[in-house]
Amino acid sequence: MGRSLVLFFFLTLTLISSVHGKEWKLAVVPKFHSVFFDQSKAGCIDAAAQIKGVECIYRGPDISNVRMQDQVINQLIDEGIDGIAVAITQSNYLVKNSLNRAKEAGIPIITYDSDIEASINEDPNSIRLAYIGTDNFELGKSLGEELKKHRPNGGTLIMQSGRPDSPNLNLRLMGVRSALSGKIYDKPPGELLNNDSGWTEVREPFFNFDQLAQSVNQMESVMKGKPVKADSFIAVGGWPQNDQARYRKMIAPYQAKINNNKIIIVITDTSSEQLTMLKDNLVHINIGQDPYEMGKQAILTLYKIVTEQKYDKIIYTPITFCTPENVNTCTKVSGL
């Protein structure tokens, strides 16, 4: 009996120490590598460095492609990953494939930046345990409200987005439309504005599929006023400014239009390069997100989940409002 008791205590202590000494491999999977998403890598690495035994694995496709992102997730599953935070490129495909496979394998999934679309057949909450990122509808509303400050009597608008099936971007489009029209829409992306409270979208949004050169070309057509003309432009992501050299070359001939408010330009995100362009009056306002905090909170949340601690199911990261007047201080409050 004495030996059995000693053996029991030895096995118990071995089990406890193995649990506490486990090396946790936690992944952050962006839509693709970019100026924006790579900031979440820094947050991921910094958070992991604060927790003994946690490794941050940041891996994503080089371009925005749902099948390539699906392959990345499947690779992580094959490697025995302990938890995954993913910025959803396209909900239906990922849920039917790699995310369902992760669920069946017992690997916890959370989303960041872009959540699983609520309209898919399967309840998003059965797939992902938490969402961390911008309140995308409110971000869209903020874009619209800032435009209204420059155009209080309404105007004509062209918007730019990434993919037509991107859940977070469609929420932003709906937020812009809600702010300008005063309407509540049943589902994203809302409805094309047609003289709603003085606002009209002269065409469907441009979709650039995360191709930076294409995004600059699309914006150039707005600045030219050909083939369609509008007095306002909103990009619900930072695409055109993420190719700084191309953006500067494109926008230079239209500096007078910007200075005279012939066209109002509102663009999402506040990278250091974008703030330089804002300081040079190449855009009227940038509204920024906090991808660093997204990556940081993603790792902290995954760690709480795998170690069976309490965690928040929704964490909204802050947005910031940057204008030429406050460009030197606008991001310092949130540490962007």
**Residue 122 and residue 141 in contact, taking contact as beta carbons nearer than 8 Å:** no
Number of domains making up the chain: 2
Task: Identify the H or E element spanning 70.
Answer: helix 66-78
Nearest to 283 by CA among 228, 334, 239: 239
329 located within any domain? no
Residue where a domain terminates, one of 288, 310, 329: 288
The pLDDT > 70 percentage for the chain reads 90
**Residue 47 and residue 261 in contact, taking contact as beta carbons nearer than 8 Å:** no
37 located within any domain? yes
The pLDDT tens digits of the residues spanning 213-256 come to 999 999 999 999 988 899 999 999 999 999 999 999 999 999 99
The pLDDT tens digits of the residues spanning 147-187 come to 999 999 999 999 999 999 898 999 999 999 999 999 999 99
CA distance 316 to 293: 10
22 pLDDT tier (thresholds 50, 70, 90):
confident
Question: What is the model's pTM?
Answer: 0.85
CATH number at residue 70: 3.40.50.2300
294 pLDDT tier (thresholds 50, 70, 90):
very high
Is residue 187 located within the same domain as residue 223?
yes
332 to 147, 181, 238, 249, 290: CA distances (angstroms): 23, 32, 19, 29, 11
Is residue 144 located within the same domain as residue 264?
yes
7 pLDDT tier (thresholds 50, 70, 90):
very low
Is residue 73 located within the same domain as residue 197?
no
Is pLDDT of 33 > 80? yes
Nearest to 233 by CA among 135, 156, 327: 156
Tell me the angle at which helices 37-49 and 291-306 cross, rounded to the nearest 10 degrees. 40
332 located within any domain? no
Query: Which pLDDT score is estimated for 122?
Result: 62
Which range of residues forms the domain containing residue 246?
136-288
The gap from C-alpha 204 to its chain's centroid, in whole angstroms, comes to 22
Is residue 241 located within the same domain as residue 212?
yes
Task: Identify the H or E element spanning 288.
Answer: strand 285-288
Is residue 170 located within the same domain as residue 261?
yes
User: Which tokens hold the place of 193?
Assistant: 């504005």
Is residue 271 located within the same domain as residue 302?
no
6 located within any domain? no
Is residue 166 located within the same domain as residue 274?
yes
User: Which residues have C-beta within 8 Å of that of residue 181, sequence separation ≥ 6?
Assistant: 193, 196, 197, 199
Is residue 130 located within the same domain as residue 140?
no
Is residue 157 located within the same domain as residue 95?
no
CA distance 324 to 142: 17
Is residue 129 located within the same domain as residue 148?
no
Is residue 167 located within the same domain as residue 213?
yes
5 located within any domain? no
Nearest to 230 by CA among 160, 142, 139, 136: 160
**Which is it for strands 314-316 and 131-133: parallel, antiparallel or unpaired?**
parallel
Is residue 63 located within the same domain as residue 157?
no
Residue 269 identity (one-letter amino acid):
D
The pLDDT tens digits of the residues spanning 298-324 come to 999 999 999 999 999 999 999 999 999
The residue to which tokens 């700084």 are assigned: 244
